[in-house]
Amino acid sequence: MVETTISVIKADIGSLAGHIVVPDFLFEAARKSLKEGVNQKIINDFYVTNAGDDLELIMTHNKGEGAEDVHKLAWDTFMKGTELAREKKIYAAGQDILADTFSGNVKGMGPGSAEMVIEERRSEPIAIFMADKTEPGAFNLPLYKMFADPFNTAGLVIDPNLHDGFRFIIQDIMKDIPCFIEMKTPEESYDVLALLGSTGRYTIKKVYRADGMITASVSTDKLHAVAGKYVGKDDPVAIIRAHSGLPAMGEVLEAFTMPHLVSGWMRGSHAGPLLPVGLKDSRCTRFDGPPRVVGLGFQVSNGVLIGPVDLFDDVAFDITRQRGMEIADYLRRIGPFQPHRLAEHEMEYTTLPKVLASCENRFVEEEIVPKTKAKDTSESAE
Ligand code: F6R
Ligand code: MG
Ligand code: MG
């Protein structure tokens, strides 16, 4: 059996006309760099794409998770791209590059990554989901639905291979040191939901089938945790295996048919619906959004990526997008008010605290009655 590692490493290193879309010359530079990586036998194969302003490097190799030379290849690719983006004065050039030198792994250096080591099955269909203007917790709801909700995934009821359920590895991403818990569905579904409902704190890291087969991997990197301040979004990526004893590709995609609300729209400070879109619509425009997700389907074949299929480029998702846009339009009418604008604790790492600081020392302990202006009595006295 062939053992293959799939690594998706992404970074926002600059985009066109604001935080909208990765420019073509960055795709070209990334492809050139990864081609060299193939020639040097660092990786087997790759596909370069974008989720809005994020450059996405989808790679296969056989070196396992966190392999130094694979991560260095991605890092060097982002560095080369950043240099070009700076030369051309592209907006936010090098935004997610938060370290000067590479130190063994892209983790904690700005870029996000999801990785998975698989023993290739007789046929290995996978989906890569890449989101823009949101955070890792955006995948909590769809992944729960995929692997634990029989109303989404018929196989949980019908297919004996899925019937025993799944194990969720959940990460507390607010902890300085990565902290994980394992929970099993369906037995612990309510506990799983108790955690996953707090999308800003608990995120799915991996999902395994009950027998231990790896089936999902999600990036959980938090940029502000690295930079200590708001520098951009932690736009997440996820790798999902489908079929033959796992949710079918259609069940995987079904989980995205409800445009659920996610955090991260405009200035990382607003909630909005997650729109599943085809690659041609992978660019956030209205109010820098709405947040969106693209999905690419591949067959992994002896370490080579065959495809992709642009999974959401289908009329079947028009109704979801329409619904999402109506929700977006409704939310925009609320403007700076919660729940469109995020709650204060979620704004801790944005620029709002700077504004609030100037109001803070004007608070007093007694209710204030504004002084009235002295009346001008000169006319009535005549
Ligand atoms: C960036 C993002 C955007 C920016 C916003 C302000 O990925 O989410 O919504 O936060 O466009 O950008 P700056 O601060 O660069 O003017
Ligand atoms: Mg950006
Ligand atoms: Mg982005």
What whole-number distance in Å separates Cα of residue 280 and Cα of residue 292?
A: 12
Residue nearest to atom 3 of ligand 1 (CA): 267
Going from the Cα of 342 to the center of ligand 1, the distance in angstroms, rounded, reads 15
- Binned at pLDDT 50, 70 and 90, residue 351 comes out as confident
Going from the Cα of 272 to the center of ligand 2, the distance in angstroms, rounded, reads 17
- Catalytic residue status for 310: no
Q: Is 37 in the pocket of ligand 1 (CB under 6 A)?
A: no
CB 54 within 8 A of CB 22: yes
pLDDT of 229 higher than 90: no
Residue 252 token pair: 């995987």
The pLDDT tens digits of the residues spanning 55-86 come to 999 999 999 999 999 999 999 999 999 999 99
- Average pLDDT for the chain: 94
- Catalytic residue status for 230: yes
From the CA of 10, the nearest ligand is 3
Q: Is 19 in the pocket of ligand 1 (CB under 6 A)?
A: yes
Helix 68-87 vs helix 24-39: crossing angle, to nearest 10: 150
Going from the Cα of 14 to the center of ligand 1, the distance in angstroms, rounded, reads 11
Among 96, 230, 234, 349, the active-site one is: 230
pLDDT of 380 higher than 60: no
Q: State the pLDDT at residue 89.
A: 98
Residue nearest to atom 12 of ligand 1 (CA): 267
Going from the Cα of 11 to the center of ligand 2, the distance in angstroms, rounded, reads 9
- Catalytic residue status for 202: no
Q: Please choose, from the candidates 125, 122, 50, 123, the residue with its C-alpha nearest in 3D space to the C-alpha of residue 278.
A: 50
Q: Is 217 exposed, middle or buried (0-12, 13-18, 19+ CB in 10 A)?
A: buried
pLDDT of 230 higher than 80: no
Q: Is 288 in the pocket of ligand 1 (CB under 6 A)?
A: yes
Cβ neighbours, 10 Å, residue 315: 6
pTM exceeds cut of 0.85: yes
Q: Is 283 in the pocket of ligand 1 (CB under 6 A)?
A: no
CB 99 within 8 A of CB 110: yes
What whole-number distance in Å separates Cα of residue 281 and Cα of residue 51?
A: 9
CB 128 within 8 A of CB 49: no
For the residues 130-141, what does the mean pLDDT come to? 97
The pLDDT tens digits of the residues spanning 246-261 come to 999 999 999 999 999 9
Q: State the pLDDT at residue 145.
A: 98
* H or E segment and range at residue 261: strand 261-264
Position with higher pLDDT, 109 vs 191: 191
CA angle centred on 90, ends 89 and 95, rounded to 5°: 110
Residue nearest to atom 6 of ligand 1 (CA): 267
The pLDDT tens digits of the residues spanning 45-55 come to 999 999 999 99
Atom of ligand 1 nearest to the CA of 233: 7
Tell me the backbone φ, ψ of residue 26, rounded to 5 degrees: -75, -35
Going from the Cα of 214 to the center of ligand 2, the distance in angstroms, rounded, reads 31
